[in-house]
Each structure stands twice: as C-alpha cells, then as structure tokens.
Structure 1
C-alpha cells in the first residue's frame, strides 16, 4: 500500500525547469558561450553539468572542464542568457492548473531559486507569475546569500510563512535542489518530465513525470 502524507501547509517551487521550461534555452546559451572559450559541449552535456548550480559553481566547473573564462564571465553569460530568455519562455505544462488547485485549497506557494531576481523577473514576468510571487513569496539565493544544496533558502521560506519544515513540500528538478530539501527536513517531489529520475530518487526525492500528478501526491 503506498505511503500517504498529510497535505502540506506550504509548497515551495524551484523556478527554472519547474515553474518555467527555461533550462533548455539557458543551457543552450551556456553551451554556445563556452564554445567561444574553448569548451565544446552538447546541450545534454551542459544540462547534466550545470542544471541547478550557482553561477560561481558553474564557472568553476567549466574551468575544470577546460574552459578559458575571463574574470567578468558571469556578467557576460548573464547578459547572453537573459537575452535568449527574453525571446520567450513558456510555463511548464500543468503549472497554471496546479497553482489554481493550491489556491482552491488555501495552500500558500512560493518560489526558491538559485537564480537571480532579475532572471525570475524575465521568465515569470512573461507568464503572469512575477506579480503573484514578488516580493513576499520569492526567495533568491543571490539575494539571500545562501544557495542550494545548502538548506537555508528553503528554511528561510518556511520561516517567512511561519511553517515548520516537516509541513513543507518542495518541487525540484535538480540534484542540488533535492539535496537542499532533504537537508532542510522537507518532503521533496522530483520533477523528471523526460524520465530518468534515478538520480533524484537516489538523493531522496519522490519522482514524478507530469504536473497533473501532483494534486494526488499532495492529497488535494
């Protein structure tokens, strides 16, 4: 018999790859940029190496793989990535219905991302969610100075809403995000729309493939 959980008192969404389908565009921009700095990666390789990381971590990883990056590289890649994102990023399929279901049950939702508020303004602003979450329900690692896989970002969100960690549910698509949720003592759903969620499962997530599955997992 499957394990049942109480309905959460707060749902914490990652942004890129969970609320918005931005990871392919961001990582293609990354691959294109790194090719100019001596490191050739496919889109799939870029996503495997960099999804869920901080930009400082991405920079260190890219250098370890052989990229010759200038000191101002983070500003450079931000500018190139944001320009691509401004061309148009869709919401993840099923997110509007899921948010409506949470609203109908009076369950608050927020965003906790390793990305910057500027990036979230671009991606969420195109889809009407910037106004929903900003500023009371948006937690950026760049603003708070603590990033996944450390748990502080999620714990800050729980504290803001006055909810115990055990009563929160996190929806993530990256290993660093799942690790942060587990370290925070929060139940975590791992979104793997293309399948292959074995790594997220191994890190402690309950893997699902479609946002339409989430209400049943939340008992709503």
Structure 2
C-alpha cells in the first residue's frame, strides 16, 4: 500500500475499537461467558482471538479452543454483550476533533462494521453519533450479508457515495478489516493505540496510535 496518497474523497471508519472504545467491554462479556462454557481466557486473550471476526467465526474458534457452546450461543452472547455495552462505552479519544476536521474539509465519512445496527445503536447512540451515521452512512455486515475480511462491505460504501475504491480511506483496528480494505483496493490506516501494530502493518496498513495523527496522514 502507498505511504502517501491524495486526500481521500471518502473516509470509512470501523466502529468497535475505532469510533468507540468498546472492545474491552465486549471482550469482558465474552470472557465471562466462555468461562461458564469451559473456556477460560483473559480479556486480552479474547481480544487476540476474536476481535474483527463474525460471531459465527467466533463460535467456531471458541469451540476449537475447547468451549462447549450450545446451538443458541450466538443469541446468548449478543444479549450479554449488548447488556454490558449499555452500561457505557466512551468514544475513542480524538474522534470528535477528527470528525470536525473532516467536516471542515467537506470529506464525507461513513461507518462499516461486522457488528449489527442494533449494536451500533447502543454504542454510537450513547455518544451522539447514531443520528450522524444512520441510516445513510452506516453499513453493517448483518444487513448487507457480507462481512470482513471480504471487501464487499467497503465496496458497498464506496458505491453508495459514488467514490472509486482508490479514492477511499479506511480506518481499521483488526486484521480482518485491513485485509478487507486491501482486497477492496483502498488505502488503510491501522489504529494500534496499545501496541506496535506489526500485525496490521504486515497486512498492508499504515499504522498509527493516536487519532490526532490522522489529519497529517490525509494532508488536511
């Protein structure tokens, strides 16, 4: 992926871990649930195994690691995760300023997530962003039937805004999201606030650790 490119015509944000700092709460709910089903993981191990995946993929992975999960487990974990998120999740530091900067430069933004619209209503609704993105600028794998690491979610967003893939920029924090962006032919910034980001860089992302860095990376 190129290290520099023209200012994008569309910025596509992932939701969990990018717009909102929801991964710790979600993975605490995951770890608590899996412990009841025979698989003991720390929150950090849960994040390493599951961040960015579909829930069907998480279920298969957890079973491969030894969890004894019932057939209705996906409904169970969604209910527990949503209840945990409703207790409160913050915006990622720097997101309000970054969105304001993009607005000032008249650069459209949207959100594309493997999560459901219901989940985004909980997390974004707490933080004043639900009305901004829903429904015209919100793309959910649950609604579209295509999930990262396949590129279709990002390509659907680009098509909706009438922007070529090469003129889009994706901001992601997961391997599956970076792979999807690369497959879509889009420049990708990999958000790694708590680590080196080597995994994301190896997949083709330009790694950064603070949202305040993004304007310079976009030449705005």
Task: Say which SS state the counterpart of residue 111 (structure 1) adopts.
Answer: strand
C-alpha displacement at 1:183, in angstroms?
0.1
Q: Does 1:76 align with 2:76?
A: yes
RMSD: 0.8
Structure 2 equivalent of residue 104 of structure 1: 104
Structure 1 equivalent of residue 197 of structure 2: 197
Structure 1 equivalent of residue 152 of structure 2: 152
C-alpha displacement at 1:109, in angstroms?
0.2
C-alpha displacement at 1:5, in angstroms?
1.4
Structure 2 equivalent of residue 125 of structure 1: 125
Structure 2 equivalent of residue 50 of structure 1: 50
Q: How does 1:198-217 map to 2 (within 5 A)?
A: 198-217=198-217
Once residues 90 and 3 of structure 1 are traced to their aligned partners in structure 2, the CA distance between those partners, rounded to angstroms, is 30
Structure 2 equivalent of residue 161 of structure 1: 161
Q: Deviations over 1:89-138 (max 9, x none)?
A: 00000000000000000000000000000000000000000000000000
Q: Does 1:178 align with 2:178?
A: yes
Structure 2 equivalent of residue 188 of structure 1: 188
Task: Say which SS state the counterpart of residue 16 (structure 2) adopts.
Answer: coil
Once residues 141 and 3 of structure 1 are traced to their aligned partners in structure 2, the CA distance between those partners, rounded to angstroms, is 29
Once residues 3 and 71 of structure 1 are traced to their aligned partners in structure 2, the CA distance between those partners, rounded to angstroms, is 45
C-alpha displacement at 1:196, in angstroms?
2.2
C-alpha displacement at 1:195, in angstroms?
2.0
Q: Deviations over 1:166-216 (max 9, x none)?
A: 000000000000000000000000000012200000000000000000000
TM-score normalised according to structure 2 size: 0.99
